[in-house]
Structure 1
Amino acid sequence: MSGVLAGALCVLAALSAGPSMRASNEWWKAGVVVAAAACGAIGGPGAVALVLAVVAGFIGYRFDRGAAGASAQTLFATIAFVAWMLPGPDSAFAVLAGGAVAALGCVIRMRASRESTSLRSMHLACAGACAALAYVVGAQSGAPAVVSVIAMLALIGAHLSLAMGGSAVAPVACAMSAAAVCGLALAAAIAGSHGALFVAAVLIAVGCARSATLVGIVRETP
């Protein structure tokens, strides 16, 4: 199951991060290149995830899709942690199946990308769920568990900030979500058997950075 979720995340996150390839900031592009190189080194399901991410990223680049909002990016990060928790072989078939489901969902939804304005209660519930996940992960041993728990604290902060401040704290939430998924990517890299999750986490981090920058530019515009 974790492979299915990771494959879906690869597609969704790459679609939101794809427009960053048009940006002038070179570190975004460098981040995508580093993710691709690391994924190629992992091989196996990670290579399948890389193909899915490249295809989805090209679609996002080609059609110039806007970056996902802070709420969407934080939810992507939460799903990534759920995928980390679920047992699964992270097989190539599972990653492909998840990517196909996500792609089909994007086709069905088409351009329905508007965010609801009444998401505060949902973020509050997600913060509680993430706290429960952090407790479960904290009961495990090993460096990946420690890193993922620390990263999940940032994700809890992102949900709480969105629950209390709404869109006014979107840049902060995006930054905290980016920090959270970077920690998840590190934990997946240490574990060495979650190539698809590693790729998805890196792409979500790129999308979070993109969203935070766009929100900051809008707020600074007179």
Structure 2
Amino acid sequence: MFDALDGALCVLAVVATMEALRASGGISAARRRVLWEIGAMGALVVLAHAAGGGTSAVLSMIVALGIAGGAAAVCARFGIDRAPRLSRLPGMIAAAALASTLFAKPDEPVAALIGASVAVAGAALLSRLRFAIKDASLASSLHFACAGACAVIGYAAGQEAGALAVVIVSAMGALIFSHLTMALAGPVWPGLVSTLDGFAACSVVAVGIVAGSGALLVTGIALAIGCAASHASAMQSRASYSK
């Protein structure tokens, strides 16, 4: 079940990142170069993880990269990234990815592929729906609920021992701060929110390496790129406003 969840989260992370990149298409050349550098670092991490592991690690990475590439192809082919739905949810995706690691289970590429297929179909359907949460009080309540869920995940991880639990707890702390910021200040501090979500994304990368899950590793890298794009866009908009 949780390997299928990892595959689905990988697809959602890729879609959210493509939406963020499209929304941030007007960023400066310098900040665009930073995004390329982050992507290159992610590629090196993927290669190092595959080279340092055995046959299972290589197979896991091939499946994860296939899921990410397939999701990107479907996203571009059907224009899923043209109507942003998930670009504001990287923190929730990261929280779900970290929560899945609390349930120890061997990596199952077939289950990940099944979960990814369901997620692609769901993302395609979501892109055709027209809805938005315009009520500020409802959006604030949802962020408070997400902060509570992150607190529960952090508490559960805190009952475990080891460095993995420390990484998850610290990531949940960042996500709680992120959701509380959104709940109390709305979209006033997008740079802070994207930074906190980016920290959680890097935590997903670390957990994916330790757990040996290619799907989690690719999910974290995709989320990190998307958060960096959102942060660059927010900082550029702030600079333009200051002028």
Task: Tell me which interval the TM-score lies in, with the shorter structure as reference length.
Answer: 0.7 to 0.9
Question: Which residue is equivalent to 1:27?
Answer: 37
In structure 1, C-alpha distance between the alignment counterparts of 2:80 and 2:126, rounded to whole Å:
17
Q: Could you tell which deviates more after superposition, 47-56 or 108-117?
A: 108-117
Question: Which residue is equivalent to 2:5?
Answer: 5
In structure 1, C-alpha distance between the alignment counterparts of 2:130 and 2:112, rounded to whole Å:
24
Q: Is the 8 A contact 2:147 2:180 kept in 1?
A: yes
Q: What is the 5 A alignment of 1:116-127?
A: 116-117=133-134, 118-127=138-147
**1:147-188: CA deviation from partner (whole Å, max 9, x where unpaired):** 221222111111111111111122211110110121232123
From 106, 121, 145, the counterpart of 1:104:
121
From 79, 84, 90, the counterpart of 2:101:
84
Question: Which residue is equivalent to 1:179?
Answer: 199
From 193, 209, 216, the counterpart of 2:228:
209
TM-score, normalising length: structure 1: 0.85
In structure 1, C-alpha distance between the alignment counterparts of 2:187 and 2:64, rounded to whole Å:
32
Go from structure 1 to structure 2 and tell me whether the alpha carbon gap of 1:28 and 1:100 turns closer, same or farther (over 3 Å shift): same
In structure 2, C-alpha distance between the alignment counterparts of 1:92 and 1:170, rounded to whole Å:
35
In structure 2, C-alpha distance between the alignment counterparts of 1:113 and 1:34, rounded to whole Å:
39
Deviation at 1:213, TM superposition (A): 1.9
Question: Aligned residues: percent identity?
Answer: 31
In structure 2, C-alpha distance between the alignment counterparts of 1:55 and 1:77, rounded to whole Å:
20
Q: Could you tell which deviates more after superposition, 130-139 or 212-221?
A: 212-221
Question: Which residue is equivalent to 2:61?
Answer: 46
Q: Is the 8 A contact 1:74 1:177 kept in 2?
A: yes
Q: Secondary structure of the equivalent of 1:221?
A: helix
Aligned length: 221
Go from structure 1 to structure 2 and tell me whether the alpha carbon gap of 1:132 and 1:13 turns closer, same or farther (over 3 Å shift): same
List alignment gaps of at least 5 residues for structure 2: 52-56
CA RMSD of aligned residues (A): 2.7
TM-score, normalising length: structure 2: 0.79
From 146, 153, 157, the counterpart of 1:137:
157
Paired amino acid for 2:91? T
Question: Which residue is equivalent to 1:200?
Answer: 219
Q: Could you tell which deviates more after superposition, 141-150 or 19-28?
A: 19-28
List alignment gaps of at least 5 residues for structure 1: none
Q: Is the 8 A contact 1:70 1:174 kept in 2?
A: no
